[in-house]
Amino acid sequence: DAFVMGAWGRDQKATGIVRMMADGNAAYSKALGLDADFSKHGMGTRSQRYSMLVDNGVVTQLNVEQGGKFEVSNAETLLGQLA
C-alpha cells in the first residue's frame, strides 16, 4: 500500500535516502516471479517476503523467505551483504 509505505518512510526518516515502493496490484512481484496467492486468507495476490539490494538498476542481492519465516529478508542480513 503506497500510503503505508509513505508513512513508514517518514517515520523512519528515510525520505530522500531509501526509496519506499508499494506494489498494490502485485504487478512487480508477478514480473519477478515473487508473487504468492493468499486468497484463502482473503488477501488476494501479494508479494512474497524478501529483501532486495539494487545497485544502479542491477539486483545484487535477493533474499527470499520460505514458508512464512522471517530469517533472511531482515535488515541485518541485507546490511551484512553491503560491501
Spatial CB neighbours of 72, under 8 Å, sequence gap ≥ 6: 51, 63, 64, 65
Average pLDDT taken over every residue of the chain? 93
> What per-residue confidence (pLDDT) applies to 1?
82
The pTM for the full model equals: 0.76
pLDDT in tens, 56-74: 999 999 999 998 899 999 9
What is the percent of the chain with per-residue pLDDT over 70, rounded to a whole number? 100
Tell me the percentage of the chain whose pLDDT exceeds 90.
88
Angle (CA) 17-18-20 rounded to 5° is 140
DSSP string, 51-79: EEEEETTEEEEEEE--TT--SSSSHHHHH
The pLDDT of residue 53 is: 93
Confidence check: pLDDT of 83 > 80: no
Average pLDDT score over residue span 30-54: 94
